[in-house]
Amino acid sequence: MDSVTRPLAFQSAAEQAVLLRTRQASSRELLDVYLDRIERLNASVNAVVTLDVDTARRRAQAADDATAHGVSWGPLHGIPITIKDALAVAGIRSTGGALELRGYVPTRSAPVVARLRNAGANVPKWSLDYVTTNEVFGTTGNPWQPHHVPGGSSGGAAAAISAGFSSLEIGTDLGGSIRLPAHFCGVYGFKPTFGAVSQRGYVDRVGEAHHDIDANHFGPIARSVGDLVTAYEIIAFHPGLGAEPRSSLADYRIGAWLDDDACPVDAPVLDRLQRAADATTDAGARMNSSRPAASLRDARALVGPVIAHGLRGPVAYASPERIALRDAWAAWFEHHDVMLWPVSPTTAPRHDPRPITERRITINGVEVAGTETIGWTGPINVLGLPSVVIPVGRAGDGLPVGMQVIAAWGNDRLALDVASRIDTVLTERGLGGYAIPPGFNSQ
């Protein structure tokens, strides 16, 4: 089913914006479609936890009135979006999933939320783990198979986009929390360069963060790369910086590092990644298998210390090992534009209520620690590099597979451009693109 024939709820935000602007649909109609779907279908996945319906409807009516008078609020005029519960939204319960904050209602919104609203978005509204469960709201399921995880900690965000409950989402990513859910739920996610988007208003404690946390990133989750671009241009401080996009895929120099003994990738997942890389080569891209002069094992060893240090205060973690890692990748990017990487070694694991340190997953028939799930995402947080996740089909178990497209520090636009071009190739060849999960395809 291509985007033209998809029901309204599953069209991209850009496609919906055209319908609203040309008055083929109204913001009220689109909002009601999502509210109806949430009422009928949310119980099966528990992705949406807080709604401010009255405010959303007033905002939708105001958007429609503005359209009728030829006034546009911006690129997301009248588009309903949802916000991860870890971001402060003025006047709406924002808990971060913590019992201590179950009744917390911020008086002002995080800057990223304010920027989205100023661009016309309508926010009815809706973290350290690769699953999404907490004592306030319970467990979120994966729309593709509810007994499997949607990823974390932006699992509800990705599940909502995948299930057709929202047009666009904003999540956070400290070790993979945008990219893992995008991979597990079959949608698109973008972790911008560290510092490109303000982290103020991050609800990770009693009160809100007033400084950027080392290795943490705010970014969009969507059903198309185009929507990631639109959201990024709204929420980023300086979205126009970085290398200029090229004229064609053939103009890019692309590396592919799809497997490693330090974190083996399950064969069915690797197969989808290799097909995506082969299709990219067939489309004319200059591909090679060279790697930075830094091991994945050494990069992974830095993930825990960097995150732990960042959660303690505003000073970034500094060590000779981290500097050497960043220098090695910077040197590699002098001769390459992007690196293709796995997101996770497996598809979405089944729910496991045990603590993260006690969980197990199976890779190529071998049981390993559940923490291997973030083996390919955490290092990119340590590096602070921009990374786009695009869907590259589904494995033999029917669950989605995603692939990271990683660029050099500050080259966010370039990463998005390459990801868009590869995504177009894969979608045209039936090897990728967003698909509606079974059981959620009703309007």
Query: Does position 269 have pLDDT exceeding 90, yes or no?
Result: yes
Q: Three-state DSSP class for 15?
A: helix
Helix axes 13-21, 27-41, angle to 10 degrees: 140
Residue 177 annotated in active site: yes
Mean of pLDDT values over 182-204: 92
Predicted confidence at residue 48, as pLDDT, reads: 84
Q: How far apart are CA 383 and CA 263, in angstroms?
A: 18
76 SS3 class:
coil
What pLDDT does 198 receive? 92
Closest CA to 60 of 20, 87, 89: 20
Which of 42-56, 226-240, 276-290, 423-437 has the lowest average pLDDT?
A: 42-56
Tens digits of residue pLDDT in 289-344: 999 999 999 999 999 999 999 888 888 999 999 999 999 999 999 999 999 999 99
What's domain 8-428's architecture? Alpha-Beta Complex (3.90)
**Lowest pLDDT segment from 20-29, 117-126, 353-362:** 117-126
C-alpha distances (whole Å) from 371 to each of 280, 295, 343, 359, 377 are 30, 18, 13, 8, 11
Catalytic residue among 26, 94, 153, 154: 153
What per-residue confidence (pLDDT) applies to 102? 61
**282 CB contacts (<8 Å, ≥6 apart)?**
none
Classify burial at 275, counting beta carbons within 10 Å of its beta carbon; exposed 0-12, middle 13-18, buried 19 or more. middle
pLDDT at res. 106:
66
**Burial status of residue 134 (CB atoms within 10 A of its CB: 0-12, 13-18, 19 or more):** buried
**Would you state the pLDDT for residue 127?**
38
Averaged over 1-13, what is the pLDDT?
80
Task: Give me the catalytic one of 26, 177, 344, 420.
Answer: 177
Task: Annotate 382-432 with DSSP letters as a single string.
Answer: HHT--EEEEEEEE-TTS-EEEEEEEE-TT-HHHHHHHHHHHHHHHHHTTS-
Whether 125 sits among the annotated catalytic residues: the reply is no
pLDDT tens-digit profile of 365-410? Answer: 999 999 999 999 999 999 999 999 999 999 999 999 999 999 999 9
Higher pLDDT, 136 or 365: 365
What pLDDT sits at residue 90?
A: 78
- What is the pTM assigned to this prediction? 0.94
Catalytic: 84?
A: yes
The conformation of residue 65, written as its DSSP 8-state character, comes to H
Tokens 């040309």 correspond to what residue?
Answer: 22
Higher pLDDT, 75 or 125: 75
Share of the chain above pLDDT 90, in %: 73
Who's near 188: CB < 8 A, 6+ residues apart?
Answer: 182, 221, 222, 223, 224, 225, 227, 228, 388, 389, 390, 391, 423, 434
199 — phi, psi (to 5°)?
A: -100, 5
Active-site hit among 12, 26, 27, 84: 84
Would the CA dihedral through 193, 195, 201, 204 be positive or negative?
Answer: positive
> What pLDDT shows up at residue 138?
64
Candidate ranges 79-88, 110-119, 159-168; pick with highest mean pLDDT: 159-168
Task: State residue 130's pLDDT score.
Answer: 46
Count the Cβ atoms, other than its own, within 10 Å of residue 422: 29
Measured in degrees and rounded to the nearest 5, phi and psi for residue 360 equal -130, 145
CA pseudo-torsion sign 212, 298, 355, 267:
positive
Mean pLDDT of 33-42: 95
Which residue is it, tokens 């200029």?
244
* 97 pLDDT more than 60: no
- Find where tokens 């079974």 sit: 438
pLDDT of residue 356: 82
pLDDT at residue 101, as a whole number: 54
**pLDDT > 70? residue 159:** yes
The domain segmentation of the chain, as residue ranges, is 8-428
- pLDDT at residue 215 greater than cutoff 90: yes
